[in-house]
Amino acid sequence: MNETHPPIAIAFFMALFLAALAGLLYVLSPFLADLVLAFMFASLVGPLHQRLRAKWPKHPGLAAGLLTALVAVAVLVPLGFIGGSLSVQATAFYEDTLKGFSREQFDSLLFGEGWFARNARGAAETLGATWTPQVLDGWLSRAAGSVATFISAQVNAVVTNVLAAGLHFVLMLFIVFTMLLEGERLRRYAFATSPLPDDEEARLIGTFVAVARATFFGNGLGSLIQGVLGGLSMAVLGFTSWALWGAVMTVLAFLPLVGISLVTVPATVVLLAQGRYAAAAGFLAFNIAQGLFVENVVKTKLIGAQIQLPSLLIFLGIVGGLALFGVLGLVYGPLIVALFLTLSELYHQRYRQLLVGGASTPPTS
């Protein structure tokens, strides 16, 4: 049944609808990261889900459940690997540090005639203090209380953050399961609700899927390169379990800014403690250089090549996304850039003539 509505009724309805949409977005804003990550993981396993649905047409929940479990394993196994490796290898790092390093050598490093001891004495004199074992012991004793308080606060914060991350992770898995199980129905509902033509909506969703996959695989290959190079550099310098630490660095390289430094900085300290100053400087310089190159050049080109975007825009999108959104900026930055360029193409192809008149022409690349 067709009904005609006066313009004021249409305007009032649209105001109510937009207000309700704004309220919904506000309510869902604490879960934005969960929704984006869930959509990304659901997009990555989407082709496999389609094959499983075709194989088990009467068991859609089984296919969605298996792939949700696969996502959980893909996230938890690397995290567990890092945690287990760090705890197991902590003793090995300690033994490497103390290997051939006696109390006399330690005192010589701090209070002898070497480079570190001379500069420490100079710094202490500048501050109006003396640099002796007794003074250092006093400083350490006074700092112990502050350090203990700081550590206690950090432990409490870590426990709180871990619990919150666990809850968000469970929620993300639930969203992944729902998207896989009800994805087609949700897509039809979104297409029916949006006023855009279906092909334009499909193009925007396709952009999101392409960015998600490009970000995942681009970061994955780039992180593998960092881990291999970092592990080989540790092997050259004679570190034990260098292959294991290379694998740990591969996983850590997914984290922006800190990344492999969580391994390379302690390893550099070990080399310094063993008196291998040139090796420490070369090791640190090499891994800083390869980390910056892979993060800012290799990963940018890998992501840009897969979604056909200029490397400069991808680089700026990643850097800007990290500055604004933290770790999730790895996805948000390229996604915002890609969505803007897709909308820009649609504007030039279809909307420019309607809005400003004249012939619609595609933008020049």
**Is 346's pLDDT higher than 80?**
yes
What is the pLDDT averaged over residues 223-240?
88
> Domain spans of the chain?
194-356
**Is 350's pLDDT higher than 50?**
yes
* Summary mean pLDDT of the chain: 78
Higher-confidence position of 138 and 216: 216
Higher-confidence position of 172 and 158: 172
The share of the chain scoring above pLDDT 70, in percent, equals: 75
What is the pLDDT averaged over residues 7-19?
89
102-161 per-position pLDDT tens digit = 556 566 666 666 666 677 777 776 766 666 666 666 666 666 666 666 666 656 665 676
181-213 per-position pLDDT tens digit = 888 888 888 888 888 888 888 888 888 888 877
84-93 per-position pLDDT tens digit = 666 666 565 5
Higher-confidence position of 52 and 302: 52
Task: Answer for the pair 52, 63: CB distance below 8 angstroms, yes or no.
Answer: yes
What is the pLDDT averaged over residues 61-80?
86
Give residue 20's pLDDT band: very low, low, confident or very high (50, 70, 90). very high
28-45 per-position pLDDT tens digit = 888 888 888 888 888 888
